[in-house]
Amino acid sequence: MEMIRYEGDVYRPPSEANSLIIQATVGCSGNTCAFCKMYKAKKFRMRPLADVLEDLRRARGWFGRIERIFIADGDALILPMDRWTAILAQIRTLFPECRRVTCYATPRSVLLKTPEELRALRAGGMAMAYVGLESGSDTVLRFMSKGNTAAEAVEAAEKLHAAGIAVSVTAINGLGGVEHFTEHAVETGRVLSAMRPEYIGLLTLMVEPATPLADIVRRGAFTTLTAEEVLGEIRLILQNCDCPGSVFRANHASNYLPLGGTLNEDRDRLIARIDAALAGKTGLRPDWLRAL
């Protein structure tokens, strides 16, 4: 039986661990972020549509019931509508049991789609988009060469919601360093509140070798946070985040302290857990166990 093809390393959200992953793009359309090396070994391009559709056909032969499908790579939403229409139609034909199709999206790729196109994606089966906010601070976004402003991230979330597409937003603790600690935390909480995501995921910065950020750290222009400072930053984000009903997770392998709950009802409990960890300095994941 023919195998499903995939070029390079596979990257997907933690919540897509049990999903069928089909690669429609190779790499990331932006690929400028100073902190990220996920797609640096790949030059962005769209895979031939025929290959994508064939991989879906092959997957049907390999697997039984498939209820979730994640379309990769980074920022797959950037695909033009004719490709998305064909992919979603193939999924509906081959996997009538599929309840959810998702992909990574940048604010830019969302804003390039018209409201009518986003509604068509939702009607075709697109249930949720994973949007990397990373920081609510424009200062930090510029420093990290993210390629969009916080206001554009809010506008993108509003467009997705208007189309009926759920929004899962990630932010990165420590991305402002010591230099922009307060601004990063307060503004991230504020922008998350404005985006009203169904899901919020917090990761913690790990400076990877061979990234622009690693060079910046070596030059002394960026100071990373200690574990205790990271927890204080999460506390500050939560204090400035008003997101009723948002599922909150900070349980990624990069995080020092696994946290989870639903905002705003669990905010006090989450903050109390942070305070207990800070007071006892126990229960924190050691650096050697952290990973991206």
Residues paired with 68 in a beta bridge: 100
Listing DSSP states for 15-77 in one string gives GGTTSEEEESEES-SS---TT--TTTTS--EEPPHHHHHHHHHHHHHH-S---EEEEESTTGG
Q: How far apart are the first and last CA of the chain?
A: 33
Specify the pLDDT at position 285: 84
Category of 169 on φ-ψ map: left (φ > 0), alpha (ψ -120 to 50) or beta: beta
Residue-wise pLDDT tens digits, 31-88? 889 999 888 878 889 999 999 999 999 999 999 899 999 999 989 999 999 999 999 9
pLDDT for the residue 40: 80
pLDDT attached to residue 204? 96
pLDDT the model gives residue 288: 73
- State residue 3's pLDDT score: 80
Tokens found for residue 100 = 């959810």
Within 8 A by CB and 6+ apart from 264, the residues are: 241, 242, 243, 244
With a cut of 50, list the residues of the chain below it in pLDDT: none
Listed by start position, the domains of the chain span 18-281
Q: How many CB atoms lie within 10 A of CB 90?
A: 19
Three-point CA angle 10, 172, 260, nearest 5° = 90
Domain covering 18-281 in this structure, CATH number: 3.20.20.70
Of 48, 81, 47, 84, which is closest to residue 69 (Cα–Cα)?
Answer: 84
Closest CA to 236 of 168, 181, 154: 181
